[in-house]
Amino acid sequence: MDASPIRRAVHLRGTSQAYTAQTMTSNDTAIAVSGVTYIYPGTRALDNVSFDISRGSVTALAGPNGAGKTTLLRCIAGLDRPLSGNISVAGIDVLEEPRAAHARMGYLSDFFGLYDQLTVRQSLAHAASANGVPEKKLNATVMTTATRLDLADRLEQRCSALSRGLRQRVAIGQAIVHAPEVLLLDEPASGLDPEARHSLASLFTRLKNEGMTLIVSSHILAELDEYSTHMLVLRGGRIIEHRPLAGAQAQTGGQHIRVRLARAHAGLQDALSTLTGVQVIDCNTLDVLLDIQGGADAQSSVLCALVTAGVPVSSFNEEHENLHQSYLRSVQHTLQPATALREATK
């Protein structure tokens, strides 16, 4: 866990009863946050935040600077204590049983630190021991983690001799060496070159496929597209959206289709209104975005119906919304138009 000092804040608990481990989460819930409020002097960093994170998912935590992302991660990690609310990880009350919760999670802060005089082997062994790995299993655990992170040939090197990318791998190794169920990552790719970012994305994909639950905060949303399954957007300490991304949507049978017209057609709205199993997401004079339930046969039927109705369709293509587009859409739905435009052009 991050060894940095716990930041000053108001440490009074609210009057709500703490959940027991049995009632805080279901078997499919890895993280449960309920009514969490956190206050710095003069600032409400988190305002009655509540959400559940499913096991085996990867949640992209997005939002502008000062939205409360780091504070939220630190509260989940048990490093900052909220004014009120409840948090559980793997069914364990983080506020009442922090040590037990720490054994089930890993945390990498934005400004992580390594002991420069320790070797990679010593760093991983120290983290494993601190997180309860028995001494007789230390060597095997260190080797497994080093191999997983492509650090096996660096075990005897001191951390001071490593590049930024390799140091980042060691820090992540310290967070996962005890095989946690939940991994919290705050700007994990900060300062890395494109090759190191790609390697990191591959690692997170493997961890997801192995059943680990991840929350990843980053300002570079494009790098989260490869492996994120959900998006959680914070603004001003409040959740403005929490939902599955396109991959989860595809599992329900829905598919976004972009329809472009060769020219304006007066009967477009009437033609759209007759379609079944179709939701109109956006409609302009020459451009329509549809959500079509079903597979290729359903899409073929929709295209046939539009052409039969005389709609001059020039293109009919599947559209995959990336995380950046999804985030901007969420922001634009909650802000005044002028503010949304500033957000989109940052």
Tokens found for residue 346: 């940052």
Q: Which domain holds residue 81?
A: 21-245
Looking at the domain assignment, is residue 156 inside a domain?
Answer: yes
Q: What is the pLDDT of residues 16-33, one digit of tens each?
A: 333 333 334 457 899 999
272 and 136 in a common domain: no
Residue 14 pLDDT class (50, 70, 90 cuts) = very low
173 and 149 in a common domain: yes
pLDDT at residue 318, as a whole number: 86
Rounded CA separation 200/202 (Å): 5
Say if residue 192's pLDDT is above 90. Answer: no
222 and 83 in a common domain: yes
On whether the CB atoms of residues 62 and 233 are closer than 8 A, the answer is yes
Q: What is the pLDDT of residues 289-312, one digit of tens each?
A: 898 988 889 999 999 999 999 999
Looking at the domain assignment, is residue 340 inside a domain?
Answer: no
Looking at the domain assignment, is residue 128 inside a domain?
Answer: yes
Looking at the domain assignment, is residue 204 inside a domain?
Answer: yes
95 and 212 in a common domain: yes
**DSSP 3-state of 45:** strand
**DSSP 3-state of 161:** helix
Rounded CA separation 263/170 (Å): 57
Instruction: State the total domains in the chain.
Output: 2
Looking at the domain assignment, is residue 25 inside a domain?
Answer: yes
256 and 240 in a common domain: no
- Segment 36-58 mean pLDDT: 95
- Structural element, H or E, at residue 256: strand 254-261
Looking at the domain assignment, is residue 171 inside a domain?
Answer: yes
161 and 131 in a common domain: yes
CATH number of the domain enclosing 296: 3.30.70.250
261 and 121 in a common domain: no
Rounded CA separation 299/278 (Å): 10
Looking at the domain assignment, is residue 302 inside a domain?
Answer: yes
189 and 65 in a common domain: yes
Q: Which of 259, 254, 261 is nearest to 279 (CA)?
A: 254
Residue 309 CB: number of other CB atoms within 10 A? Answer: 15
3-state helix, strand, coil in the chain (%, to 5): 35, 25, 35
259 and 168 in a common domain: no
Q: Which amino acid is at 235?
A: R
